[in-house]
Amino acid sequence: MITKLLLTGALVLGVSAPASPVEVLAPGVSVRSVTLGEGTGHNSWTVTVAVPSDSQDPDAPAAALGSRDHAAELVKSLAAKGFTARAEEVDWPAFADSPHGPLGWRVRVGSFASQTEAASTAAAMKAAGFSAGAEWTGQDGPQAQGPEHVKVVIVDPRQFKGQVIATHGPTVTGRRTTSSLAAAAGALVGVNGGFFVIDPKDGFPGEAAGLGVYDGQLQSEATNGRVELVLGQRPSIASLRTAVTVNGVTVNGINRKPGVIRNCGEPGDLPTAEPLHDSTCTNADELVLFTPQLGAATPTGDGVEAVLDAHDTVTALQPRGGDVPANGHVLQGIGTGAAWLTAHARPGTKLRIDSRVVDQHGRTVHAQGVVNGGPWLVRDGRVSVDAVADGISHPGDPSYLYGWAVKRNPRTMVGIDRSGRLVVVTVDGRQPGYSEGFSLLEGAHLLAGLGAVTAMNLDGGGSTAMAVNGKLVTSPSDATGERAVGDALLVLPR
C-alpha cells in the first residue's frame, strides 16, 4: 500500500529519479526515499537586493520584498550606478485565509552560471552602497521546480506494536540533536519535533515554543490558535489550548521565563495575543509554573517565587531563582502575579493546581505526547493552509511570509490518512543542485497526494532531520551540520 501512496505523491509533483525500495523497519513501519522535481538546468544564480535581518534565529529570512513604487525607485537607483536591475512581482500564495494579489516586489540583478560570479556582482553592488546577496533561483518557490530529496515514513497502528512518542530528552531545557535522541532511545525512526527557543533572550534554549506534553505530563503551554500533533493509541492532529490554574487563578506559562513568550498567542501578551511566529511577546503580569523536569534553576529577576512540595504545600516564599524540588513545583510571579503569590502563598498554605489540555470545546484531552507546530496543511483531505491565522504572516512585513512560506526550505511534516496511519515526511533543502526544499504549499500538496486527510507542519529549516535506527539519513542545511533541537518525534520498537 505504501507503494501506491508514494506513486500518488509522485504524480502530484513529478519524479525525476526512481524511488528507492521500501525499507520495512518493523511490522507496520516503513521508510522510503524519493527524488522529486526536474533537475537544475532551468535555475541560475542571481543577486537580490535585500535588507539583512537582525534576528538571532538562523532561519529568519532577510527583508527581500517592498512595494511596487519602492522597487521601481530601486531599479532607477541601481541603473544610475551602472547595474541593470529588474523588479519581479511575488504573489500571495493560495492559502485558505490569505488575500489575493501581489505580496510584494523583489529587485534582482543578473543571471549567473556560478555562485562566484553572482557574489562578485553582489560585492560590487555593496561597494556602491546597496545591500545585496547572491541567491539561487531554485529556492524561489514552486515555479523553480526541483530537485527535492524526500523521506517518507508510514506508521500503521493496526500492525505496529510499538509506540510513537514525543521526547525532550532528559530535561525540558537544553538542546539535543534528533539523531542523538533517537539513538539514546533505540528508536526505529526519529524526526525533529516542534518549534523551540534558540536565543537566551527569548527564554530557555531548548524549551518548546508552544504546547509540549511528554510521558503524559504537560511541560509547556500552548500557543493558542495553533495546531498540534497528539500522540496516543491513535495519533491525531488538532488545535488545542492549555488551561492551568492555581486556586482558580490563571497560570500563564509552564517552564519558561515569566514575561517572555516565544511565538505569543496568550491572553495579555503584547504586542499581540494572537500567534506570531518567530516573535517574542511580553507580559508584565504573570504566574509561571515550573516542573521538576525543567533541568535548570528557575530564572532570577523581579517578583517572587513559591516553592511547593509533593502535596503542593508552600514550603518557602522567596526571591526568584532556585531549584525545583524533585517531587514538587515552583510558582513564580511578576507584577500582579507576584502580588497574588505574596497574598496567597504563605509557607504552610496548600495550593490547588489544575493543569489540563483542552480542545476547542473545552473538553479535556488526555495524551501521552503532544508536539507543537503549524500551520495546518491538509484538512478533510484537501490542501488548507492557515498561514495568516497561524502567525506565519507578519503584519506589515511581507518579506517574512515570503522567506518562510513562499521560498523553498527544508521541511518536516506529518499527516494521518483515512486508515489512521501516520505519514511523516522530511525534505532536504537550501542545497543548490542537490535538494531545494518545498514551499509551504508544495509540502501540503505532497501530504495530500500521499493520502493524508489531515496534516500539519513541524519545525523545519536547519532543524529538519530524520534518523533511522539511530543514524542520520537526511542532509541538514546548517553549515555546522545537524542542529540541536528542543524535542523529537520517535518511533520506538515494542
Confidence of residue 115 (pLDDT cuts 50, 70, 90): very high
Residues 332, 358: one domain? Answer: yes
Which contiguous run of DSSP H or E holds residue 343?
helix 336-344
Over pLDDT 90: what percentage of the chain?
87
Cell of 219: 511541560
Provide the pLDDT for residue 61: 57
Provide the pLDDT for residue 6: 42
Q: Is residue 69 part of a domain?
A: yes
CB-based burial label for 243 (10 Å; 0-12, 13-18, 19+): middle
For 127-151, write each residue's pLDDT tens digit: 999 999 999 999 997 766 779 999 9
Residues 94, 6: one domain? Answer: yes
Provide the pLDDT for residue 113: 94
> Does the pTM exceed 0.85?
yes
Residues 16, 133: one domain? Answer: yes
Residues 382, 260: one domain? Answer: no
Q: Which of 332, 364, 396 is where one domain is finished?
A: 364
Q: Is residue 435 part of a domain?
A: yes
The stretches of 113-263 forming alpha helices (DSSP H) are 115-127, 178-185
Q: Is residue 172 part of a domain?
A: no
Residues 31, 122: one domain? Answer: yes
Residues 487, 394: one domain? Answer: yes
For 5-35, write each residue's pLDDT tens digit: 343 333 334 444 556 789 999 999 999 999 9
Q: Is residue 267 part of a domain?
A: yes
Residues 101, 144: one domain? Answer: yes
Q: Is residue 290 part of a domain?
A: yes
| Mean residue pLDDT across the chain | 92
Confidence of residue 467 (pLDDT cuts 50, 70, 90): very high
For residue 320, give its domain range: 241-364
Residues 336, 456: one domain? Answer: no
pLDDT at 52 over 80: no
Residues 383, 282: one domain? Answer: no
Q: Is residue 180 part of a domain?
A: no
pLDDT at 248 over 50: yes
Q: Which of 336, 364, 392 is where one domain is finished?
A: 364
The tally of domains found in the chain comes to 2
Residues 351, 390: one domain? Answer: no
Residues 18, 127: one domain? Answer: yes
Mean pLDDT of 164-168: 98
Residues 325, 360: one domain? Answer: yes
Provide the pLDDT for residue 9: 35
Q: Which of 333, 364, 395 is where one domain is finished?
A: 364
Q: Is residue 214 part of a domain?
A: no
For 64-104, write each residue's pLDDT tens digit: 898 899 999 999 999 999 999 999 999 999 999 988 899 99
Q: Is residue 166 part of a domain?
A: no
462: left (phi over 0), alpha (psi -120 to 50) or beta: alpha
Pairing of strands 189-192, 369-372: unpaired
